[in-house]
Amino acid sequence: MGKIIYLTGAPATGKSTLTARVAAYAKDVEVFTYSLELARVTSARVGQLTQNDMREQSAKIITREDVALVDEQLIEKATSFRQRDGFLVVDSHPVTIEEFGFRVTPFTKEMLSRLSPDVITCLYADAATLEARIKADAAGRPLPSRFDLNRHVDLQCQVAWTYAFESGASLYFLDAALPGHDVMTNFMKVAKIPDITLSQATPDPYRTNRA
């Protein structure tokens, strides 16, 4: 029976890098990247959008209805995945930073119950690390103050804790400021995903941004 691993964390904690590595070097792993699906759904309504567009405009263009559509797609995917072996890693962050502050578009209790994740993992990092990563490769992300970066991390961690409390899933907070090899190793351990070829992992793209 397939396992559902929910991965979250503030922007620049390295979720996309982590999921790309896991999908490349682990067996029987698929990734559902929420932001990609949300860009596709929103594009159907307003015209072609990239992930960078989504990050730059965020609440200006993304509606709760768009989110609900992606939620249903995720449930359909997860329900199908449960019927076979393997791991579905759901890459998502419901907290976004906006011009007015922060916006949270969390799963409803019903949605969370239907998804029923087996493991929830939340990446975190200090503000200096996140700031350096955004400066090196913004990819449409705003560069908030260090106070707001820390606040974003805290809010995302609170959402993860709430999801775990409501669903009964195991919850792990992983230090994303560690080298990418270590982050992936820790993620694989807590998610219990076997057969990873760590020796072939790609270089850590953030190594030069650390003190």
CA gyration radius, the chain: 16
Whether the per-residue pLDDT at 131 is higher than 90: the answer is yes
pLDDT digits (tens, 9 = 90+) for 41-61: 888 777 776 666 666 666 567
Strands (E), the chain: 3-9, 29-33, 87-91, 95-98, 101-104, 119-124, 170-175
Q: Residue-wise over 167-204: b if at least 16 C-beta within 10 A, else e?
A: bebebbbbebbbebbebbebbbebbebeebeeeebeeb
pLDDT digits (tens, 9 = 90+) for 19-28: 999 998 888 8
Please name the CATH architecture into which domain 3-192 falls. Answer: 3-Layer(aba) Sandwich (3.40)
pLDDT digits (tens, 9 = 90+) for 198-210: 444 445 544 444 3
Whether residue 49 contacts residue 43, with contact meaning beta carbons closer than 8 Å, is answered with yes
Domain boundaries, the chain: 3-192
Which DSSP category does 107 fall into? P
Whether the per-residue pLDDT at 129 is higher than 80: the answer is yes
pLDDT digits (tens, 9 = 90+) for 179-194: 999 999 999 999 999 8
Whether the per-residue pLDDT at 195 is higher than 70: the answer is no
